[in-house]
Amino acid sequence: MKILSGLVVSEYILEGICDGLKGPLKRSPCLVFVLVGHHAPSETYVSMKVKACEKVGMVSKVIRLEETISKLLLEEMILEFNKDETVDGVIIQMPLPRHLEQIPLLIAPDKDVDGFTPTNMGKLVLGDLNGLIPCTPQGIFYLLRHYNISLENKHVAIMGRSQIVGKPLANLLSLKIPFANASISLLHSGSKDLKAITQTADVLVVAIGQKEYVDASYIKQGAVVVDVGIHRHQGKIYGDCQKDSLSLKASAYTPVPGGVGPMTIACLLLNTFCSYKQKFKEAGSSRLVFDRHLLTRTS
């Protein structure tokens, strides 16, 4: 079973960003993180993203707020970031208290580096790749592309229909572009004959948030498996899939950790880089030109 290393591919993306930031700059790109409350996993995720920013030469700012912050006050803060010409990307780290859950929708589309606002989601649905594409789906696409896994005329089954992974990934991988153009089955807990569908898939993407739920009985011989899940249990990290079981049938697999996770962070910085370049309309600002450059790098 071939291991599809997100650590390796994410380094190519980060190197590309570093190359793009060499030479005289009007200023360094800036990414703002907003943390509400005291959620330990969120602190860990933001810390990893901040370190990645430092690695490529981006400025990062972390704003920590109490859970009791009013909706009005946070709205005003986001609107100020939207107007701030020194800020290129804004992330409101999830999860949020219930009274604040709609706040991320206020982020300006050109600073929505998570790619979750209606404008960027809508562009993806329409096949307009000049928007900011959600980071995890984008990372999965680059990971498969790097390892020369074309989805042309292939069946991709996606377990999980979240707004963060499943739905945007289905739209991205079904686009008529090189290495995509797949037929998609978007599955969820209510899907009938689930295994009958996943066993016909050439590529199975598992994003259901259940520790080691999927084993070899879900896949056909030679399938590629992308494990999006991450779970911490008794000091160890697990995915949504049982790696040892899958090794009996899968031809390739994304490890946990070291698979999709690093790709998500790399694509977050890529989105920030593209937002920055578009702001100054510099040469090479088109995300498609830059992405093609990245995608030509092969292992």
CATH of the domain at 229: 3.40.50.720
Please give the pLDDT value at position 297: 40
- Do 174 and 213 sit in the same domain of this protein? yes
Least Cα distance to 20 among 7, 9, 8, 29 occurs for: 29
- The pair phi, psi for residue 148, each rounded to 5°, is 60, 35
Q: Give the DSSP letter string of 206-239.
A: E-S--TT-B-GGGS-TT-EEEE---EEETTEEE-
Please give the pLDDT value at position 90: 98
DSSP letter (8 states) at residue 211: T
- Do 100 and 142 sit in the same domain of this protein? no
Asked whether residue 80 is assigned to any structural domain, the reply reads: yes
pLDDT at 245 over 60: yes
Asked whether residue 114 is assigned to any structural domain, the reply reads: no
Region 41-47 average pLDDT: 92
157 CB-contact burial (10 Å; exposed 0-12 / middle 13-18 / buried 19+): buried
Interior/surface letters 270-289, b for 16+ CB within 10 angstroms, e for the rest:
bbbbbbbbbbeeeeebebee
C-alpha to C-alpha distance for 255 and 238, rounded to whole angstroms: 9
- Both tokens assigned to 236: 């160890």
Asked whether residue 96 is assigned to any structural domain, the reply reads: yes
- Do 92 and 164 sit in the same domain of this protein? no
Q: Please give the distance of CA 237 from its chain centroid, rounded to a whole number.
A: 19
pTM > 0.85: yes
Region 13-38 average pLDDT: 90
User: One of 88, 114, 202, 227 is an active-site residue; which one?
Assistant: 114
- Do 72 and 140 sit in the same domain of this protein? no
Please give the pLDDT value at position 36: 96
Asked whether residue 267 is assigned to any structural domain, the reply reads: no
User: One of 88, 93, 240, 291 is an active-site residue; which one?
Assistant: 93
93 tagged catalytic:
yes
Query: Using an 8 Å Cβ cutoff, are 275 and 110 in contact?
Result: yes
Confidence bin at 282 (pLDDT 50/70/90)? low
Asked whether residue 63 is assigned to any structural domain, the reply reads: yes
Region 274-288 average pLDDT: 66
CATH of the domain at 75: 3.40.50.10860
- Do 96 and 140 sit in the same domain of this protein? no
- Do 151 and 74 sit in the same domain of this protein? no
Q: What is the mean pLDDT of the chain?
A: 92
Confidence bin at 178 (pLDDT 50/70/90)? confident
Please give the pLDDT value at position 280: 75
Q: Which of 36-45, 115-124, 240-249, 263-272 has the lowest mean pLDDT?
A: 36-45
- Do 85 and 174 sit in the same domain of this protein? no
30 CB-contact burial (10 Å; exposed 0-12 / middle 13-18 / buried 19+): buried
19 tagged catalytic:
no
Region 127-151 average pLDDT: 93
User: Where is the domain boundary, 87, 106, 125?
Assistant: 106
Asked whether residue 214 is assigned to any structural domain, the reply reads: yes
Please give the pLDDT value at position 291: 55
pLDDT at 154 over 60: yes
pLDDT at 100 over 50: yes
- Do 143 and 241 sit in the same domain of this protein? yes
260-280 and 287-295 are packed helices; what angle lies between their axes, rounded to 10 degrees? 140
Asked whether residue 295 is assigned to any structural domain, the reply reads: no
- Do 35 and 84 sit in the same domain of this protein? yes
Region 240-248 average pLDDT: 95
- Do 185 and 144 sit in the same domain of this protein? yes
49 tagged catalytic:
yes
Please give the pLDDT value at position 32: 98
| Cross-strand bridge partners of residue 253 | 3, 225
pLDDT at 285 over 60: no
C-alpha to C-alpha distance for 119 and 210, rounded to whole angstroms: 30
Confidence bin at 20 (pLDDT 50/70/90)? confident
Q: How many domains does the chain have?
A: 2
Region 125-146 average pLDDT: 93
Confidence bin at 129 (pLDDT 50/70/90)? confident
Please give the pLDDT value at position 286: 42
Please give the pLDDT value at position 279: 84
Q: Which domain holds residue 30?
A: 26-106
Please give the pLDDT value at position 278: 85
- Do 93 and 155 sit in the same domain of this protein? no
Asked whether residue 119 is assigned to any structural domain, the reply reads: no
- Do 46 and 101 sit in the same domain of this protein? yes
Query: Using an 8 Å Cβ cutoff, are 206 and 227 in contact?
Result: yes
What is the pairing mode between strands 236-238 and 183-187? unpaired
User: Where is the domain boundary, 91, 106, 121?
Assistant: 106
Residue carrying structure tokens 């042309």: 152
